[in-house]
Amino acid sequence: MKIKDDFILRKVADTYVVVPVNSMTLDFNGIINLNETGAFLFELLQNGATKDELLIRLLEEYDVSKQKASSDIDIFIEKVKEADILE
């Protein structure tokens, strides 16, 4: 899975936001707010990470159970699919 190149992640104060760039600024209204974990997953997806890779990296980075991490990843992937920012 990979985030479309027309979306970038920025940190504004203590918040992470995903904003459209290039031609997507006309087609995509608004921004997406992410917490730290969401930003972590987003950055991995910018590099084309698989779900298994996301799970491994999340377990390495955060003190969370495998079941909780997998569930959180599923929710995150569903949200980015709904926002149509995955290739």
Residue 64 lies in a domain: yes
Residue 87 lies in a domain: no
In angstroms, the CA 14 to CA 64 distance is 22
DSSP string spanning 16-66?
Answer: EEEEE-TTHHHH--S-EEE-HHHHHHHHHHHTT--HHHHHHHHHHHS---H
pTM, two decimal places: 0.88
Q: Is the pLDDT of residue 27 over 90?
A: no
For the chain, what is the domain count? 1
Residue 1 lies in a domain: no
Domain range for 28 is 7-82
Q: Rg for the chain (alpha carbons), in Å?
A: 13
pLDDT, residue 19, reads 87
| pLDDT-derived band at 22, boundaries 50, 70, 90 | confident
Residue 2 lies in a domain: no
Q: Which of 42-46, 59-63, 73-77, 83-87 has the lowest mean pLDDT?
A: 83-87
